Amino acid sequence: MGLIEDIHAGIKTRSLPTGGWAGGNGSQASVETTCYALLALHDRDSSARDNAIEFLSRVRNQDGSWPAFDGDDREGCWTTTLALITLRFINVRFTNFEKSLAWLLKNKGREGHWLWKWKFKTVDRAVQLNPDKFGWPWFPGSVSWIIPTAFSLIALRQSAACCHTAEVTDRIRIGMDMLRDRACPQGGWNAGNGIVFGAALRPHIDATAIALLAVSDSSGDPTAIRGLGWLRDASKDCSSVFSLSWTALAMLMHRDATLNSCIAKLNEAFSGQSSISNIEALSLAVIAMNAVQHDRNPFQAVI
Amino acid sequence: MNRRDWLITSAAVTGSALTVGLRRQKYSRDLRPKRSRIAILDADHYSDHLNEVIYEGLRLFNLDIRGKSVLLKPNIVEYIPEKPVNTDAQLIGAAAEAFLRLDAASVVVGEGPGHHRDTDLLLHETGLADQISQRKIRFTDLNRDELIKTKLRANYSGLGHLWLPRTILESDFVVSMPKVKTHHWTGVTLSMKNMFGIVPGARYGWPKNILHWAGIHECILDICATVRPHFVIADGIVGMEGDGPLNGRGVNLNTIVLCDDPVAADIVCARVLGMIPERIAHIREASTFIGNARNHEFL
């Protein structure tokens, strides 16, 4: 696979001297970007890989959470889930895993608090959501959103072998209910609610694919079936490497017949855009292609 | 002092403290210019003719752009076919070209879409990718830019500081390019509300929900006091009315508003939408220190 080798080389070259990778063109390492790049390079020995692991270890907060980027305030955020998924996949041992898990369990969408539950049930009806079904926010202090909830569910379910408690089971159940509650009427997921001000929102390809990774064992689930159906149609006209990569990972997980055409489109997207420089998109493409080739998906929720 | 006196005194002291707190000035500097200049241009469709319309419109202002780095901040939220929710790509391209013709050292289009994480896909769907490629201009995803911890120059939200993109902080000339729209929560979304897009998703999420919880009007004031747009090019050729920012119907306003003051621009645009600007909290408050509600000069 010449293409993967070329992308690997490109990713390694862009590694920062302080470890990790920047989300854009700057020199500030981002935890999200670093996780994707590490997953892309997981089977390669390189100083870029070692420095990135060192970076993730260095920026981890005392409470077990991860910040968004190098130098960020120390309050922790959704990237904690990505770091957990990544470090597990690349087999890196780190201490106090339970601390990270406890942080994740403590963190919940604001609508999970009784006061805000009451607000959403009585005063604020602009968005149609059931506040009893809550998940995780991007950052503490806001309500639940689809992508951080899906990543949290994946991280929690992957940790089941070592830390299967009643609390974990409960949060997984409520989180899954939240994903089902907020799906768009036509199938798939937008950033948050499927309906706002009485109007159905258009789903997003990446959010739908990531949510489908989280509900991967719900093969008979009508929400998952509708989501897959929508994703099959939407990805036909998509040329974005970022969205196609997430789609391929979801299709692989659900053993969907459109996986091959999705990978073909991904290859096509690379041949048509010689100057793709986005590390996240490049890394996700490698992750997807590797996952298909070796049938080993880092975002597989149930191990 | 008996118990009753003590209670009355306590209540009076608390009341005074609250009143002083509420009335205390919440901004550090009065940013209002002596006068604000506005040009209302007629345009009824999006095409290459906008290149000349915008260039000639900008020339009315005698802007000192030579050698400056210009950042165009359009409003790109989400792609919804048939709904004019975003600043039109053709207008953004025309503005970029006009600033280059005015000898800007560089023109960058910068945006941090509020809901959509796949910025490349959004640029492709909205046609902005074609404009950027054809006109050889650069795009910076403000959601993923390098961030600098920035003290806010007003304190309406109580946030104190925000992490803001280096690209916007280091630009010499920031141009807010809103779509002229109504908004469910803020009445309108114009040049000042458009500055929400400089707040990075990588630090505040998709959407930037923390700003909503801190108060939308309050955050608009804090952000615009900190990064006050130098100029406004508002896309009112086709505006949107209804439950914005996403739900609504297109309305032909046939207007582009150019202005060197975001408050004056928003007042004019709100009136174009048939709204009363004084009733919109952030516009009313912004007119006390960010820009002018009066002293408008129409070019």
What pLDDT, in 10s, does the model give residues A83-94? 999 999 998 887
Q: Which of A205, A182, A179 is nearest to A193 (CA)?
A: A182
With CA atoms as reference, the chain A residue closest to B120 would be: A240
Residue A301 lies in a domain: no
Q: Is A247 on the interface with B (CB under 8 A)?
A: no
Residue numbers of the domain that contains A280: 243-296
Please say which residue of A104, A129, A153 terminates a domain. A104
pLDDT of residue B246: 66
pLDDT digits (tens, 9 = 90+) for B38-75: 999 999 999 999 999 999 999 999 999 999 999 999 99
pLDDT of residue A274: 55
pLDDT of residue B20: 45
Please say which residue of A191, A217, A237 terminates a domain. A237
pLDDT of residue A216: 76
Please say which residue of A104, A126, A142 terminates a domain. A104
pLDDT of residue B196: 95
Of B121, B166, B209, which is closest to A26 when you measure between CB atoms?
B166
Same domain, A112 and A100: no
Distance from the Cα of A295 to chain B's closest Cα (Å) equals 25
Residue A291 lies in a domain: yes
Q: What is the rounded distance in angstroms from the CA atom of residue A209 to the CA atom of residue A231?
A: 7
Same domain, A269 and A175: no
* Confidence label for B18 from pLDDT (cuts 50, 70 and 90): very low
Same domain, A48 and A167: no
Q: Average the pLDDT over each of A167-176, B10-19, B258-267 and give the range with the smallest value.
A: B10-19
Same domain, A115 and A33: no
pLDDT of residue B16: 53
Same domain, A135 and A198: yes
Residue A80 lies in a domain: yes
Is the ipTM above a cut-off of 0.90?
yes
Running along chain A, 303 residues long, what does each successive block of 10 average in pLDDT? 82 94 91 97 88 96 96 95 95 84 93 76 70 92 95 92 85 95 95 83 95 84 94 93 96 93 89 74 94 91 70
Same domain, A7 and A86: yes
Domains with residue ranges and CATH for chain B: 39-298 (3.40.50.11440)
Both tokens of residue B241?
Answer: 């009315």
Q: How many domains does chain A have?
A: 3
pLDDT of residue B11: 61
Same domain, A231 and A118: yes
pLDDT digits (tens, 9 = 90+) for B112-166: 999 899 999 999 999 999 999 999 899 999 999 999 999 999 999 999 999 999 9
Chosen for mutation from A138, A201, A277, A284 (greatest number of chain B CBs closer than 10 Å) is A138
Please determine, for residue B14, whether its predicted confidence score (pLDDT) is greater than 60.
no
Adjacent-strand bridge partners of B165 = B147
Return the amino acid letter for A21.
Answer: W
Same domain, A2 and A82: yes
Residues from chain B contacting residue A28 (CB–CB below 8 Å): 146-147
With CA atoms as reference, the chain A residue closest to B166 would be: A26
Those of residues 88-127 in A touching chain B at CB distance below 8 A are 110, 126
Residue A302 lies in a domain: no
Same domain, A94 and A125: no
Residue A303 lies in a domain: no
Q: Average the pLDDT over each of A155-169, B11-25, B189-203 and give the range with the smallest value.
A: B11-25
Give the percent of chain B with pLDDT over 70: 91
